[in-house]
Amino acid sequence: MNLAKLAYKNLWIRSSRTFLTILGVSIVIAIFFSLFSFGKGYEKALEGEFSSLGIHILAVPKGCPYEATSLLLHGGDIESSLSFSKLEEIRNHPEVLLASPLYSRHTKVNPDQSPGNYETALYAIENDLFKLKPYWKLAQGASFSSNEAQEVILGSQTAQVLQASLGQEITFIVHIGEEKKKVSAPLVGILEQSGTSDDNFIFIPFGWIKTLLGEEEVIKAVAIQTMEGSSIASVSEDLSQITDVQTVTYRQAQYTLQRLLDTTRQLLNLALLFTLLLGLIGLINTMLMSIEERKKEMGMLKALGAKNQQLIQLVLLETTIMVFIAAILGILWSLAFSSLIETAIRSLVESAPPGKLSLFSVPVAGMTVLISVLVGGISVLLPSVSLLKISPLEVIRNE
């Protein structure tokens, strides 16, 4: 008996049931693959975002340094500030090579213009920050002519949205106390795409924001690079002794990030487990109903000499074919809707990192197909018991 040919014919004869089974299983597999790909992609995106800081130590006002780091990454508003005297103390440490002050605040770019009214983050930086962020490259123009100049540099995404060109006047909102002031300056540079949050920001010289706001509220953080060969942990400990200053190193941020990822991974694994159980239960139910409806057929096959082992192999082969097709279809669905899923995630999680949140890889796709086929095989075990109970004589008698 050619089991493969018979399995194919059986599936084709019951085309409606086969189609609905494949459709249902493919949805479960699409969810499984999306969750797994999202877990890997989100982990890689978060790690890439932290590594893109390009600094050894970040000094922030007293509070939660990890919250301040997250706000700084995504252009959030840090309410507290550091004084310039604290900046000088940091710079005077013998093992500090560079200490670049940073200011960040939500803003609107080109308000009441078209294209414009673009909500993003305003960053005030010094030219030294280019040394701390080696991936920063200028696609057009140049860096600031001085740290006090009234000039603007745009991230690649912001420049694209605004359809901006060099020399164009860029208007943005500056919060001065309780007031909001519109400020304009010429665009002198556009950064190359980096795949980080920096692509979405607007940058101005730090000296200019200092003139606008005054010294009391302008330094939101200090990006620090230590001397080569120095102990980052030791320097961080020294700087944290400065009054009203807290520090966080890249390694500390990585450790906190890893703990967050571990918690996220556990939740995703739980979701994956429930997804697999859902698919398994659905397959078992489908195969039980299929065998129940085909008792006469199975009995006739037994009467013609088919053994229980061959019938189990037949059902297993039918299930494998359906699950394999469903797995391929589910992966294709997941890829087709990945952009829509990412958009939904970003709308729910404001601090989601930039870049692809869903990471496709051939090994993951292959593993998904393998797991799906294995689950399909397991789902046949319980229904196969009913095959053993089918009596060919009873089937013929009833016929």
> Is the overall model pTM greater than 0.85, yes or no?
no
Residue 388 confidence (pLDDT): 63
pLDDT per residue as tens digits for the range 140-165? 999 999 999 999 999 998 999 888 89
Each residue's pLDDT tens digit, 167-192:
999 999 888 877 888 999 999 999 99
Closest alpha carbon to 97 in 152, 65, 156, 55: 55
CB 77 within 8 A of CB 105: yes
Whole-number pLDDT of residue 204: 94
Do 384 and 313 form a contact (C-beta atoms < 8 A)?
no
The arithmetic mean of pLDDT across residues 8-34, rounded, is: 78
Distance (Å, whole) CA 288 – CA 389:
13
CA 184 to chain centre: 35
Q: Identify which of 341, 346, 371 has the alpha carbon closest to the alpha carbon of residue 358.
A: 341
- DSSP character for 135? T
* Omega cis (within 30) before 115: yes
Q: Where are the domains of the chain?
A: 3-49+261-398, 63-243
Can you tell me the mean pLDDT for 86-115? 87
Q: Return the minimum-mean-pLDDT range out of 89-103, 236-250, 343-357.
A: 343-357
Q: Which of 302, 306, 310, 313 is nearest to 380 (CA)?
A: 313
User: Is 60 exceeded by the pLDDT of residue 59?
Assistant: yes
Beta strands (DSSP E) in 44-95 are 57-61
Averaged pLDDT for residues 265-281 = 73
The tens digit of pLDDT for each residue in 369-383 reads: 888 888 877 777 777
Cα 98 from Cα 87, distance rounded (Å): 11
| Residue 94 confidence class, pLDDT cut points 50, 70, 90 | very high
Q: Is the pLDDT higher at 247 or at 349?
A: 247
Retrieve residue 57's tokens.
């130590």
What one-letter code names the amino acid at 37? S
Indicate left, alpha or beta for 200 from its phi (over 0: left) and psi (-120 to 50: alpha): alpha
pLDDT higher than 80, residue 8: no
Higher-confidence position of 286 and 242: 242
- According to DSSP, the residues that pair with 204 across neighbouring strands are 124
Across 49-74, average pLDDT: 69
Residue 43 has pLDDT above 70, yes or no: no
Residue count (the chain)? 399
User: Using an 8 Å Cβ cutoff, are 280 and 369 in contact?
Assistant: no
Q: Report residue 391's pLDDT band, with 50, 70 and 90 as the boundaries.
A: low
- The pLDDT mean for the chain works out to 78
Nearest CA to 343 out of 331, 332, 334, 356 is that of 356
Tell me what pLDDT residue 25 has.
Answer: 81
What Å distances lie between residue 257 and 57, 77, 339, CA to CA?
A: 16, 21, 25
**Whether the Cβ atoms of residue 140 and residue 190 lie closer than 8 Å to each other:** yes
pLDDT at site 75: 67
What does the pLDDT read at residue 276? 72
